[in-house]
Amino acid sequence: MAVKHKKTSVNKHFKKIFFYFIFYILIVIAGINIFGDPQTNFRFGILTLLIFFFSLIIFLIFFGQFILPVLNLPERIKAVQQLFLYLLGDHGPAFFIENGELRERRIDRSKNGPGVIILDTASSAVLRTPVKYKGAIGPGIAFTQRNDIIAGIVDLHIQSQSVGPRKEEDPFSPLQKGESTAAYEARMSRKNETLAVTRDGIQICVNVQVRFKLDANPGEGNSAYGYNPNSVEKAIIGQSINFEKPDDNPDRITSWKWYPVNLTIDVLREYISKYTLNEIFPLTKSEINLLDLISTQIKLRLTQSHYYQMDNYGKELNETVFSKEFDLLKKRGIKFIDLSITNLRFPAQIEEELHSRWRTSWLDVANKEKKIVEQEQAIQTLSGQDQALMDYAYGTSKHLGSYPESINLNSKELLISLLKGNLDTISQDPELCSFLGSEYKDISELIDWVRSQGDL
């Protein structure tokens, strides 16, 4: 089949060249009929040939820079070469990659000549030949050589992968009435993606969302999202291959996007195995949320070269160890960002035990929390009273601070100054003005009365 296709492409190639040759012969014959003189005909043939090739070159150079987004002279030369090969029918495929998705014509899949690939600012790819990898190409334009193949495509955006059961399903329930065997197996497969076991042997199933990207700084490599060719090559070349599956099976190659997810699940299972169910869901309110603690520890192990180790009972040890997970991600050119753990699920029996335990202990827990709230309220009340006294003393005596220390005030002046402080305190607070309107008037009258009196 491949030999037949090759013969067909070769025949088309020679047919196109033969068409150009016949076109040139017709022009020469027309010149002979016009001029008639053999010497003139020879000169006309040579001149026509020179004009033809010169015009062709000028045409290719001029239009080549508009057909493709070339930026410099080497790219313009490559564009001219591609157009010339296109005229001869010996060109390869033309691909456009946008947001990590390949856009191609079906007819281009069978072409193996020199081609061109245009990538947007959020895309990159790795090229290979039938025998070796050639390297990464980034945002912009790339010219391929004969027999070049796209080994893999990478989206430079921040990636998000979610695993675990669907929100509406019970991962621990047996085969339901009306549920097909395929649907049941798919539900069990989603459950097993994030299934973990506590230290006391209780199965827990969660939903995990992981965010990550290729290891590159924003703006690097002519991309706002960051393009590092080494990271792209590590991610694509490091993809695992399942040789038991046929070549046309899309699951034969495991995408690089699943690598950080699998590492996250492995570390999650390790930490959950260090705690019991009662430690994860204590009867009393705990200052430490173990799920948040586990999420923090996972992020540390996937983003730092060293982390503090924990013993088999979840107690942090005062020693740091090397993070193998971080090293593996770095070798694959992947940068971990964050994760979220949601929707904890248990077998029906365990959930019923948790509900029963809550129903029998909720009153004790509520009374303990009530005492804590009352204690906090008493402390805040005393603190508020002390602060109110301090504010009142400051407002009443602030006028006294404006007098020099050398001046000795008599009792009348001292009383008037204190009363003015009260007036200012009321007038500067809108809420006090609305509640103490009559008191404000009484204090003003009291000041006038004191002033009208003699020495006190």
Predicted confidence (pLDDT) per residue in 222-260, tens digit: 888 999 999 999 999 988 888 888 877 777 888 999 999
Residue 341 to residue 368: CA distance in whole angstroms: 29
Q: Token pair for residue 26?
A: 């017709």
In a domain, 133, yes or no: no
Residue 45 to residue 283: CA distance in whole angstroms: 100
The predicted structure's pLDDT at residue 184: 93
The predicted structure's pLDDT at residue 210: 97
Torsion angle, CA of 166/170/176/178, rounded to 10 degrees? -30
* Residues 195 and 272 grouped into a single domain: yes
Question: How many separate domains does the chain show?
Answer: 3
In a domain, 233, yes or no: no
DSSP for residue 25: H
* Residues 8 and 84 grouped into a single domain: yes
Please give the residue range of the domain that contains residue 30. Answer: 1-89
* Residues 318 and 182 grouped into a single domain: yes
* Residues 321 and 377 grouped into a single domain: no
The predicted structure's pLDDT at residue 1: 41
Give alpha helix (H) positions in 240-281: 258-272, 277-280
Residue 119 to residue 138: CA distance in whole angstroms: 7
* Residues 209 and 289 grouped into a single domain: yes
The predicted structure's pLDDT at residue 90: 65
In a domain, 309, yes or no: yes
* Residues 52 and 184 grouped into a single domain: no
Per-residue pLDDT of the chain (456 residues; tens, 9 = 90+): 444 444 444 445 445 555 555 665 666 565 555 555 555 556 666 776 677 677 767 776 666 666 677 767 677 777 777 776 676 666 778 889 999 999 887 777 677 778 888 899 999 999 999 889 999 999 988 888 888 889 999 999 999 999 999 988 999 999 988 889 999 999 999 999 999 999 999 999 999 999 999 999 888 888 889 999 999 999 999 888 888 888 777 778 889 999 999 999 999 999 999 999 888 887 666 667 888 999 999 999 999 999 999 999 989 898 899 999 999 999 999 999 999 999 999 998 888 888 777 777 666 767 778 888 888 888 988 888 888 778 777 777 776 666 666 667 677 777 777 777 777 777 777 777 777 777 777 777 777 787 777 665
Q: Token pair for residue 234?
A: 């590590």
Rounded to 10 deg, the angle between the 290-303 and 324-331 helix axes is: 50
* Residues 195 and 287 grouped into a single domain: yes
* Residues 177 and 292 grouped into a single domain: yes
